[in-house]
Structure 1
């Protein structure tokens, strides 16, 4: 991958990858940090990324692994969800539906949340999710099924609470 190709790849994917990691991690600052670090590693290994043929998946996987390593080193997984980073770009504040969905996602186990994000937000097939996470296709399907059911339950409970507050 040439310098120009890498720059073009970066420009086309950095926002998408940051958004995907934000959904997986629940912390915008952490997502920005690990994606930038993954791109720095990718720059050094750009020939390997080019050979592998899936540079976006490579960056996403490296960023995810860095985030997991940080969590283990700090032993502050719960704190990562309580911390709220504010976007540096001007964006409209999230609507109530967005907040309900984010709260519901935070209730899921990390692996279910990651699996749902990769499948629905990153638009990866079950096989691609399995390849990226190291899980079997059956386990991915189980996480997707249980994650959808848990989300439906959390969102239904949130709507019931919201209706009772009115």
Structure 2
């Protein structure tokens, strides 16, 4: 009787690919973020300026840093642009709130600082847009955010809702009220 294993060869283990052949996740992440930076940096700076950030470059840099840190937690690389917009909106909102607190305390002490336009503001805004931008800045924060995301970035309601952390129905309300307020303000200026 022959041994059943005699004619069977032992399986050869798969060769372990060398380090150069294996994909490097850190390198892939850096290349993906660099590509996103090329495409989305300037529009995100504009978004931050239109939302009222006085340090738009810093806001966008912080958004890219947060994306870099959380890259592996993204549900897909396609979600990165949405994530960046959401971070820019939230950081701008937080910084505006912080500035409001600082200005309240400065006003109590009689040291109210004057707003000076940043370099980003001068680069983004032309004189013919100044009246509209001033009217947008006078809107409540949520209306301003919804209008900028809708009409400047041309996002759908679901994308705006994701960026702002609210429902699509709330987006409709904020856009409607913002448009009505802008119409009133711009009619008064005529």
Q: TM-score, normalised to structure 2's length?
A: 0.70
Distance 2:171 2:124 in 1: 34
Give the C-alpha shift of residue 123 in structure 1: 0.9
Give aligned pairs, total: 154
CA distance 1:133–1:94, shift in 2 (3 Å): same
Give the C-alpha shift of residue 113 in structure 1: 0.3
Aligned to 2:93: 68
CA distance 1:93–1:106, shift in 2 (3 Å): closer
Question: Structure 2, unaligned stretches of length 5 or more?
Answer: 1-27, 107-113
Matches within 5 A, 1:75-154: 75-76=101-102, 83-87=115-119, 91=123, 94-95=126-127, 97-154=128-185
Work out which of the two has the higher radius of gyration on C-alpha atoms and give 1 or 2.
Answer: 2
CA distance 1:23–1:92, shift in 2 (3 Å): closer
Distance 2:188 2:179 in 1: 14
Partner deviation per Cα, 1:115-143 (whole Å, 9 max, x = no partner): 00111111111122122212222221111
Distance 1:60 1:122 in 2: 10
Instruction: Find the residue that maps to 2:118 and give its secondary structure.
Output: coil
Give the C-alpha shift of residue 5 in structure 1: 2.1
Contact 1:26/1:106 (8 A) holds in 2 = no
Instruction: Find the residue that maps to 1:37 and give its secondary structure.
Output: helix
Q: Compute the RMSD of aligned alpha carbons.
A: 2.7
Distance 1:123 1:43 in 2: 25
Distance 2:97 2:40 in 1: 27
Pick aligned residue for 2:78 from 53, 70, 86 = 53
CA distance 1:54–1:84, shift in 2 (3 Å): farther
Pick aligned residue for 2:46 from 19, 23, 26 = 19
More helix by share: 1
Give the C-alpha shift of residue 91 in structure 1: 4.5
CA distance 1:131–1:33, shift in 2 (3 Å): same
Instruction: Find the residue that maps to 1:53 and give its secondary structure.
Output: helix
Deviating runs (4+, > 6 A) in structure 1? Answer: none
CA distance 1:11–1:77, shift in 2 (3 Å): farther
Q: TM-score, normalised to structure 1's length?
A: 0.79
